Structure 1
């Protein structure tokens, strides 16, 4: 290969940049030692002052002690920031930058700009040596070919000509290769990266972000961005890089704690946890819908069913009646019809189910029921129900306190004039106790009158025939029976979690999350219609990014599927909807196989590999033997990340028992397990969003992946980067569909 004419100059510059990084790193390491020394000194001083606080004039020492505490807090924060910068510099030393662009602004001289994951300034002259990939000028690398180009910055639109795009491969501080390119990201770089193996953790894609991905990452015009993306189109990477971009662009107003990231499971949260730290940002705590509900309702229930538990129950259920009952109930509670029914129920509760009574202490009427009703329906009618009741409580308690104050004076006079001798303190004490006893019943009555037991209220909708009919409930008894049984056992089914919080929101019992500045929802197709209605109230003003794929809506009875509709429910007046059709994960052969299961708009990126192979056996033991052979072949070919994906947990356990006697293997049984390196056995619904070098789809019975489960099997097959094998029992229905496409 002919050496690039600028090779020596680029190597020389790289060495200079590395030296600057080392110089900055040494400064930071010295600071780290200084912070440790300061911390020891402050701790010593505080220890000495702690002893002084027990002696004479101790009160005079308190200001000094508090000052030391503030010094210590500042020292800890500065030290943590310094340690974070040290880690970034150490990473930067390995690969300082990945590209260079030469840009000539109109009316100015041409300049060269080097772009990396982190920015870097020369400590000798403050010159910018490397631009952060999120900087405005860096956008031209992703969006433009050489020729007319522009970028937006705080000063406005900067226009000019992009003269050069040069890409580098730098590893362990050594320049391996470089070349100039005329396309967004040179195919060779992307091919090399996609052809590599995964280690079970998601990585950054900064050097290979594609134009359509970049536009989603940097989008900022409307409040809601909905991204419909094919399997392997980089949706989750977009979410995380978009979070990093927002933290950079809006660093004065947004911190990591202001971003909410909803993920399908704890496994997925662990899988993506390295990305933001690699990008130099604090990790964003992930949440699930069940996590939000549990943090809101606390110990109101002994069991909160998770999404994955719901899926496992559904996929393991043998009884057709039980399964159809669950699907009917889930579908109904996820629907627009049930959403409207809850809105009707909230109106019925307000107009017919709140009863006021006279509040009296003895013969004295503190507040009449007519007065309270007037406050509720007229004076405070502009407020949500719960807020009105709270205001009424404040109003009545103020009246009670005024009455008690007057009664206390009367009691003091009464005890003072009694024949029994009492000193002043005893008179006051007896008066206080007597008045408290008089008012206890009234205070208890007020609390009972204004309190809303949301669990009982939600359950009453399903228990009370008249209310169910009044709110427009369907005639099906299965839904009501299933719900009441679960609630009686203090179990909140996943299908009931959004509805109960939505009812709280309708009544004013759920305040909006005011600390949230941006919300990211991954696998957005799996959330229900009513969940998006809930989110529209819980996150009314902040930015929202939805990322999902209708083709991977593995529970179509529940999930909304349509991301455009989801976005419209959040904010129809400020919505941007975009589609990503290119698949970068799987080979062309794997995507062609997957399209036989479920035709989609997915366009595989130009990377070829082995055709998926379908192997069958008449027995379950025979299928397990086929799986063993597939694993052996994959290992021989150098693959290390191998997933054995079964439809449900029972099938996983059957295959795992066979494999564990032969080889090291790990099984994922719930969403809090961690993905280990090597061979892993995992249920279909927990594999969502993950990727592996090799996926072996296992089918242990003829009726698996039938009854509208094409999307689930499609999701399973598209977990594979390089190789897909299917090991199945003879006669499996889903295979007949594939075979018919081959004919």
Structure 2
């Protein structure tokens, strides 16, 4: 722990915190007093939104410190002047002279707080870290980056830093601005035009890094991203609820969040109404389906066999079939979307009519060409050659019409694969069809073939290892002119359609040039837990670098064999509740009803993850194994590892699922089992429970 702080120094720092909170309140009151008055109604509404976002960004949570660090710049180290700057979650300006009381952690002047070290002080003589309790400043630690030979050791063994990393939490995920490590900070501050893929072992903070990169980009490229937008894509609604507070806590409310399902359903207007077995879902998620769909769309183009005849006044103007065929070929070669080409064809045909009118001595203008393009003969002729398509109806036809599917999939899918992808219960209308997520992703692909999907400025994609190639394409087209931050862990890939290579995944995303970074230093998962879980790596991801914990505390790992596992789980939960922090009870999906009854019977207050809209409001969460990915709890009680493995379609996938579940603990992990542990864990004898 740090040495006791001198009273005068600590008092002065506490006063600076009070002054900073007063200034923030003054900034908010000033913003609240502004009136949105633009030159017109649209401008006024825009200004109202700007002021609303500004008010949200200036909200103060008294339980969260306004600053967590301090930098003492020195002129003799190259700084413009001796200067003290406090580093926090948002910029706070003092009243007198507009001097900053707190600088935003994303500002360039805050960089040394994360990157400076002995030998490279970055113009900073001293870095100070603050300890807080419920928003109240309680302690500080100083690192002399110039004079102290032990400063580098102190920086890597900071008691305040370690205490903050290991601090028990309640509720959803919180930000990590006070504890970002140098290798994480490099990723966070990467340029907007740089796409990144972060392969991160459990506890390395990859999700937090991705969210903080979004916050940094919104700060550093605010004007650009205000126009183009930022999207965070997560694996499920529970995960999005878990991370929902991070960006707002950093003053950013402009990023939107979605799952792949909500993303494609919202874009296509087609709801996901059915579940699907793995074999057909794997085929529908295969990249070959993109070519099948392309053929299905463009195969609707007709071939002209007759000339176009356009009567106008006393004349009839003819456009030969061979000219029309050349137009169709030219439009196809331009690579336009289907709907764009369909809109261009009448104008092309009308232009040919005008050429003939001019050759006869007439002088038509653009208004005449538009009138000809809208005329009944031209519209009917163009519609026959380039018919209107509906994305959902096209996919429904493809999945129900065996002959149509065979034509489109010829040489791509064999007869068995075609049989598997056809809907088991054909429906005549889209409304009656029980489309699965894989089906709606196909609809989204067709929608993009018809009309280009708008691109965002940046997309953060978490748990990307579990997405099929077609799902990756769906996310990738949302960043076709932007950049991405891809987050995941190949060792945690648990879907049968998951890709096994980041290079392959990045290709499907359309981001083949993205830089792949690897995080292996675990800051959240205790050493004892990560070492135990890492026994599975040779069986599930032998090519990955095994993770290691950088925490001095090894944490607690307890393996309990019991003849009554449900009762042993309730006892373990009771033990965990005597300590601070959240408790996650991770169980095989099939045992959720039994454990729900056992916990209720024991009087434990808990939430069933996935059942509530929000979740994470109770200290105890009952977590089905399939929803555990991406979550963290201070204490985890895990039931029946063998049951978690058996709940998946194959053993490797089951072991990956178990690896995910074992690595959710921040302080302690209790493994309760009645069946023998999987042999791959090679576990020592468990204690009786």
Which TM-score bucket, shorter chain as reference? 0.7 to 0.9
| Alignment check: 8 A CA contact 2:53 2:253 kept | no
1:612 is the counterpart of 2:561: no
| Alignment check: 8 A CA contact 1:692 1:721 kept | yes
Which of 410, 414, 422 aligns to 1:470? It is 410
1:122 positional shift: 2.5
1:440 positional shift: 7.2
Secondary structure at 2:223 match in 1: coil
Are residues 335 and 264 of structure 1, via their aligned partners in 2, closer, same or farther at CA, if it must alter by over 3 Å?
same
Q: Which structure is higher in helix share?
A: 1
| Alignment check: 8 A CA contact 2:70 2:87 kept | yes
Secondary structure at 2:334 match in 1: coil
1:715 is the counterpart of 2:660: yes
Match of 1:169 in 2: 131
CA distance in 2, matches of 1:145, 1:240: 25
Are residues 204 and 185 of structure 1, via their aligned partners in 2, closer, same or farther at CA, if it must alter by over 3 Å?
farther
1:537-556 matches, cutoff 5 A: 537-555=477-495
Match of 2:606 in 1: 665
1:547 positional shift: 0.7
CA distance in 2, matches of 1:346, 1:194: 50
1:626 is the counterpart of 2:568: yes
| Alignment check: 8 A CA contact 1:18 1:173 kept | no
| Alignment check: 8 A CA contact 2:636 2:669 kept | yes
| Alignment check: 8 A CA contact 1:166 1:178 kept | yes
Match of 1:589 in 2: 528
1:129 positional shift: 3.0
TM (norm. structure 1) is 0.76
Unaligned runs of 5+ in 1: 43-65, 151-160, 311-325, 402-438
1:363-442 matches, cutoff 5 A: 369-378=321-330, 381-384=333-336, 386=338, 387-395=340-348
Unaligned runs of 5+ in 2: 144-150, 355-374, 539-543
| Alignment check: 8 A CA contact 1:197 1:693 kept | yes
Match of 2:163 in 1: 192
1:585 positional shift: 1.9
1:136 positional shift: 0.9
1:581 positional shift: 0.2
Match of 1:450 in 2: 387
CA distance in 2, matches of 1:226, 1:443: 48
- Report the structure number with the largest CA radius of gyration: 1
Count, aligned residues: 636
Match of 2:358 in 1: none
Match of 2:174 in 1: 203
CA distance in 2, matches of 1:529, 1:233: 26
CA RMSD of aligned residues (A): 3.8
Match of 2:302 in 1: 354
| Alignment check: 8 A CA contact 2:587 2:639 kept | yes
1:519 positional shift: 0.8
Are residues 18 and 191 of structure 1, via their aligned partners in 2, closer, same or farther at CA, if it must alter by over 3 Å?
same
Secondary structure at 2:225 match in 1: coil
Match of 2:438 in 1: 495
Deviations 1:249-303 (A, max 9, x none): 112322397101111111111111111121112152201211222123214xx54
CA distance in 1, matches of 2:7, 2:377: 88
Are residues 265 and 365 of structure 1, via their aligned partners in 2, closer, same or farther at CA, if it must alter by over 3 Å?
farther
Secondary structure at 2:497 match in 1: coil
Match of 1:129 in 2: 101
Secondary structure at 2:562 match in 1: strand
Are residues 369 and 457 of structure 1, via their aligned partners in 2, closer, same or farther at CA, if it must alter by over 3 Å?
farther
Are residues 31 and 572 of structure 1, via their aligned partners in 2, closer, same or farther at CA, if it must alter by over 3 Å?
closer
Secondary structure at 2:224 match in 1: coil
| Alignment check: 8 A CA contact 1:366 1:396 kept | no
Are residues 721 and 495 of structure 1, via their aligned partners in 2, closer, same or farther at CA, if it must alter by over 3 Å?
same
CA distance in 2, matches of 1:2, 1:187: 8
1:696 positional shift: 2.1
Secondary structure at 1:470 match in 2: coil
Are residues 355 and 471 of structure 1, via their aligned partners in 2, closer, same or farther at CA, if it must alter by over 3 Å?
farther
| Alignment check: 8 A CA contact 2:115 2:182 kept | yes
Are residues 578 and 134 of structure 1, via their aligned partners in 2, closer, same or farther at CA, if it must alter by over 3 Å?
same
CA distance in 1, matches of 2:299, 2:179: 59
Match of 2:90 in 1: 118
Match of 2:112 in 1: 140
Are residues 17 and 195 of structure 1, via their aligned partners in 2, closer, same or farther at CA, if it must alter by over 3 Å?
closer
Are residues 112 and 379 of structure 1, via their aligned partners in 2, closer, same or farther at CA, if it must alter by over 3 Å?
closer
Which of 279, 282, 305 aligns to 1:331? It is 282
CA distance in 2, matches of 1:378, 1:82: 50
Are residues 553 and 85 of structure 1, via their aligned partners in 2, closer, same or farther at CA, if it must alter by over 3 Å?
closer
| Alignment check: 8 A CA contact 1:146 1:162 kept | no
Deviations 1:615-644 (A, max 9, x none): 233xxxx32222212112212x32452222
1:390 positional shift: 2.5
1:654 positional shift: 2.6
CA distance in 1, matches of 2:632, 2:324: 60
Are residues 628 and 455 of structure 1, via their aligned partners in 2, closer, same or farther at CA, if it must alter by over 3 Å?
same
